[in-house]
Structure 1
């Protein structure tokens, strides 16, 4: 596959993952008051594993020897990317505002860029760095609705710190994916990390139930939401993201990740009827322009 086509395929995979992840925020918003965070995370990854097993189970069995030899790497990847990362997001949503969460979430690509430079030795070209800066400006315009002075009124809380930790963990996960052993195929990798990640969530969820007296009311809306975040935001998106990192590396994939609040905003308008203002259009131009700068051929070091 040529370099240009390989880059295009990687960008498409990164965009696909980001689009579905953006819907995860819309769905999760409606579950905050009905499902506690760790339980929601366990339901999400258990669903993802069940859906994946018919496709990834055979790959896991065929690669069992390789999985055993790389169990430390797989366990660490599962702990960071599955057990803790998304659970922290769900927990943070209970303690901070949506504005704070949106702002802090955009630090993930910056952590990816930083970790890729430190651990993978990836150089950062001026064009890529400029693209990231433009995309960040677009995100800030979007989440502040053009009133940038609102950033001065933000106050950090426990939820803010939790979201910041989640952003760092996603950066670390993306670097680990780049180090994926060649003898562990995608199917086996996802099956193992989803299984280990869900297993490590069980005692955490059990503690949550014993401490909080959780009561779940199963409805069609809840089932549909769990299926979306399990099959879509977990299985499909993580598979696409891992493929994107394989094709274009974590730094360039991270630049595409800046489009997440743009897609979330579009979905909020379509599904939640939220109003549109000039800031949405300006931020869209800045985010897409920044992504173009950071991912075009000339941005490669």
Structure 2
């Protein structure tokens, strides 16, 4: 049962969507200076350096880092390497508003993945909520023109973001299958560090492939360095910490609603920093997505 939502807890749960929206903005801003795979590798390499002293419990003998390497490798692949790489790839051709709105349909994929691969059937109310959320995502994909839905052509960014949400859905369901020791699980830094260690290895392999196909080198500058520090410290480390603390206080059923603040923050930031003014269909899509999630979460 979820606990009472206090102002302090609400603040904790608001910080991650704000930082995640900023991550989409920054990814869009540096898309010409840093290739997407390299951006993800650099981001998580910096986060790894930050987490090493915080999660040093993981480096002790018997922590399970090697014993459960398959689990951490899969979590690192899905949650660190694939999700974030796909998101940065999406921002090469799609806007932060579209990317975050498509990602807001993630509860739909959560239901599908849970029912198809983890034996957790969805209720009728959840299915009805999923239909509303899908409507919101389709509205974004067809750019607010329903008559073009039949002849709709997805930009590569939309497809990449859909793949990212599917990867995150598998990642989230795998988190429910606990195999690591209770000490590591209770230590947010150690648990995240275990995933990041393997995630950085996957990201390095993806970056090597990116270089092999001839992507342009990184155009280093002070703004690029500042962007790297932001995406490593903010969306990776601080957001994860605030999210874990907020969920511990309020419960996942309450916290789930706060993730849908990300498109709202992204819309405001896009107008402020990128000059990409939100369209009326963005507001309608947001209402449909949130309405679907509220409906599916009601008892």
With normalisation by structure 2, the TM-score equals 0.78
Change in CA separation of 1:70 and 1:41 when aligned onto 2, cut-off 3 Å? same
- Of 278-287 and 218-227, more deviation after overlay is shown by 278-287
Cα offsets for 1:28-85 (capped at 9, x unmatched)? 11111111111111111011112222322x2323474333322211111111211222
Question: Which residue is equivalent to 1:114?
Answer: 112
Distance 1:144 1:118, change over 3 A: closer
1:204 to 185, 203, 206: 206
In 1, are the aligned partners of 2:134 and 2:289 still within 8 Å (CA)? Answer: yes
1:5 Cα deviation from its structure 2 partner: 0.6
Q: Which residue of 1 aligns with 2:173?
A: 175
CA distance in 1, matches of 2:111, 2:30: 32
Contact 1:88-1:163 within 8 A present in 2 as well: yes
Counterparts of 1:212-227 in structure 2, within 5 Å, are 212=214, 214-227=216-229
Q: What SS is found at the alignment partner of 1:212?
A: coil
Checking the alignment, whether the CA contact within 8 Å between 2:104 and 2:289 is kept in structure 1 is no
* 1:64-116 deviation line (CA, Å, top 9, x unaligned): 4333322211111111211222112323444x544875665344322212222
Against the structure 1 CA distance between its residues 53 and 209, is the aligned structure 2 distance closer, same or farther, given a 3 Å change threshold?
same
| Residue of structure 2 in register with 1:4 after alignment | 2
RMSD: 3.6
Identify, as 1 or 2, the structure richer in helix. Answer: 1
Structure 1 stretches of 5 or more lacking a match? Answer: none
Distance in 2 of aligned mates of 1:85 and 1:114: 18
Partner of 2:21: 22
Residue 64 to residue 230, structure 1, CA distance change in 2 (3 Å): farther
Gaps of 5+ in 2: none
Offset, 1:240? 4.8
**1:294 offset after TM fit, Å?**
3.5
Distance verdict in 2 for CA 1:135–1:104, change over 3 Å = closer
Aligned to 1:88: 86
CA distance in 1, matches of 2:140, 2:30: 24
2: CA distance, partners of 1:11 / 1:113: 25
User: What secondary structure sits across from 1:216 in the alignment?
Assistant: coil
CA pair 168-6 structure 1, distance change in 2 beyond 3 A = farther
Normalising by structure 1, what TM-score? 0.78
Correspondence for 1:49: 48
Match of 1:165 in 2: 163
Kindly state the Cα deviation for residue 175 of structure 1 after the two structures are TM-superposed. Answer: 0.9
